[in-house]
Chain A
Amino acid sequence: MVGNVPLLKISQLKKYFEIDRSQVLKAVDDVSLSIQPGETFGIVGESGCGKSTLGRTIMGLYDKTGGEIEYNGQNVDQMNADQRFRLHRTMQMIFQDPYASLNPRSTVLEIIAEPMEIHKTCKSARERKEKVEQLLEEVGLNRNYLNRYPHEFSGGQRQRIGIARALALNPEFIIADEPISALDVSVQAQVVFLLKQLQLEKGLTMLFIAHDLSMVKYISDRIGVMYLGNLVEMTSSHNLYENPLHPYTQALLSAIPIPDPDIEEKRERIILKGELPSPINPPSGCVFRTRCPFVMDICAKKRPEFVEVEKGHYSACHLHAPKNERVIVHMHKRAE
């Protein structure tokens, strides 16, 4: 991925929610990443790690607490209202729940045509209708479905309608927030396959948020792993699975059962103890230390920096500091 200007660049992005006067939930804390045009960036993590909040904050559905968002080299904060309105035409979102994200009282035509009406991209209602028909075909639905309501469709079909809506304005950038987690396995494959095809055809850039590491692997070029509001590791999709550096990524990968009985029987898992700590009162220093099998003294005192350990491979862990090299070697052996 050698590009000049990243399509999206976020630096030290923060989103805090105030629970009450004394308590603050740090859903996204100091996340920095950039996405090149045409790239698919996957964000993975368990529930509560802040991955959806990250997507929604980038989209502008939440106001960020701090940090910068640059789109196409331009700082979003410095845009005027008109520029922002246009920005939203190029940036679209696909939501997780295909049951909740479509208005049950609107027809398919109304649902998919609405963004085009708001942004006045078509001259007439007739042109809009034609465009909707064309979109339906692109996502693999029958063009005669125009006047049907969402309840007449299955989950996979509804998600296709959601995708058609996201494509209605010919966006450059799509944020897909767990678009397949509510679907059946075989339907998941259909939808991911469709997204990848559309991406190749239209040259879309995509932020793909998921908790399931296998489909993310198929669709993403690079992947970032989040834990408790922090980005803990970031590298190419291939590298993440071949050579995970952060202990959390290693545990996460090792927790996934592999559909192959012989391998499954021989595998040694790293089973993490306990559960995700509360993001309202996160652990000091490294947020993962309470569950980390390699925890050291320094982990409680100092927050590890997000450093480039190998080329293009970032990780936030004290184990990667030079003096701990021997530990890294040890870890790699274990991972094998």
Chain B
Amino acid sequence: MAKQSDKLLEVNNLHVSFKTHGGEVHAVRGVAFDIKQGETLAIVGESGCGKSVTSLAVMGLLPKPNGKIIDGSIRFKGTEMTTLTPKKMRRIQGVNVSMIFQDPMTALNPTLTIGSQLTEGIIHQKKVSRKEAHQKAIEMLHMVGLSNGEQRMKQYPYQFSGGMRQRIVIAMALICEPDLIIADEPTTALDVTIQAQILELFDHIQEETGVSMIMITHDLGVVAKTADRVAVMYAGKIVEMGSKRDIFYRAKHPYTQALLNAIVRVDIPADTLKPIEGAPPDLFAPPDGCAFCERCPFAMEVCQHVQPPTSMVDENHAVDCWLLDKRADTIRQKVEIL
């Protein structure tokens, strides 16, 4: 366990780019965050904001040869991952970090039994015997709420419903006893009543094992339910990061505020809905200034030309916006009159 530092994962100034037919896409542009033991960090943002790419980079799963980390560092328990050979990286990631994907249908191999898919990882990574692996797999199935493990192990993915498949994928992620689980939209493909079951299961697992989690989602309800801290991403950058309450009650970035206004809540009368007009910028040619400025109701001259620096609202609450710059005080008043 991480004794030297309480930070399990530290990501700094991460830049990822992809080569495509249309040129190079700068999908992640300087992302920095860290995760402590037992904590859940939610990364929210719209499709194309780079949230999934960030997690793939952490997992060392960027599609080769087109996807590449071009700058920055990823430290896992103090070990720098970006300079390791792929083989060494797999050794560390395979045991310590697991990933849960959005679609349980495609995350499982339809031609293999649940049993062989569950045990493959642990046999390969931890060098345990088949028998031990089998025992462990049944234990994991029980933990994710699937009874009758012995029989389940012989079945194929098509014999399970969507919710059960996601439980199996979670069991697969847990079997090597990882320190960190990255869940990429784990409930998006599920119905709400099944989503409630799965989110409850995550709670239970975290209590039981103390595993850290990165929860990637676009559903702010899921964030409110599961996260300790939240990072809001837009156009390849984290624009605001803070505790769950910082983000929901004291959001400072206009994009975060707009996101919160663009949803309808089921618990209060829904009279107003304020969609965010426009669309995110094209990352083939990222803008010079703030990526949100075209859609921002508070945009100033400086936003178009210079990227906003990170301002700290307090120790844990960081915002990348010119409105929070000390020199913006006078301008902010002007904006509020508008």
Contact = CB atoms under 8 A, between A and B. Distances in A.
Nearest to B197: A271
A157 to B, nearest CB: 8
Nearest to B258: A186
Contacts of B262: 185-186, 189
A257 B245 contact: no
A269 B193 CA distance: 10
Interface string B232-269: 00000000000011001100000000111011111101
Q: Which secondary structure characterizes the binding site on chain A?
A: helix
A184 B199 CA distance: 21
Interface string B181-218: 00000000001111111011000000000000000001
A259 B248 contact: yes
Interface in A161-210: 184-187, 189-190, 192-193
Contact of B274 (A189, A252, A263): A189
Contacts of B46: 184-187
A185 B266 contact: no
A105 to B, nearest CB: 20
B269 A253 contact: no
A261 B193 contact: no
B57 interface: no
B161 A275 contact: yes
A292 to B, nearest CB: 12
A260 interface: yes
Interface in B47-84: 47
Nearest to B191: A46
A46 B193 contact: yes
B259 A186 contact: yes
Interface stretch (A9-17, A214-222, A295-303): A214-222
Nearest to B189: A47
Given A185-B219, A189-B262, A213-B266, A269 B196 contact: yes
A241 interface: yes
A258 interface: yes
Contact of B266 (A184, A258, A272): A258
B224 A275 contact: no
Contact of B267 (A185, A263, A269): A263
B192 A252 contact: yes
A220 B266 CA distance: 13
Given A186-B275, A189-B275, A259-B265, A275 B221 contact: no
The number of chain A residues touching the other chain, given as a range, is 35 or more
Given A189-B263, A214-B265, A238-B269, A257 B219 contact: yes
Interface string B275-310: 111010000000000000000000000000000000
B275 A190 contact: yes
B275 A215 contact: no
B261 to A, nearest CB: 9
A156 B275 CA distance: 12
B163 interface: yes
Given A190-B277, A271-B197, A259 B220 contact: yes
Contacts of B191: 46-47, 211, 276
B221 A256 contact: yes
Contacts of A185: 46, 218-220, 259, 262-263
Nearest to A259: B220
Nearest to B244: A261
Contacts of A125: none
A59 interface: no
Contacts of B219: 185, 257
A193 B272 CA distance: 10
A327 interface: no
Interface of A: 46-47, 154, 156, 184-187, 189-190, 192-193, 211, 213-215, 217-218, 238, 241, 251-264, 269, 271-272, 275-276
Given A215-B264, A218-B264, A261-B249, 14 more contacts: A46-B194, A156-B279, A189-B275, A193-B275, A256-B221, A257-B219, A257-B222, A257-B224, A258-B266, A258-B267, A259-B260, A259-B263, A261-B224, A271-B200
The 4 closest A-B pairs by CB, nearest first: A257-B221, A189-B275, A259-B220, A255-B196
19 contacts: A154-B279, A185-B259, A214-B270, A215-B264, A217-B270, A218-B264, A241-B266, A252-B192, A254-B196, A255-B193, A255-B196, A259-B221, A259-B263, A259-B265, A260-B248, A261-B224, A261-B244, A262-B245, A271-B200
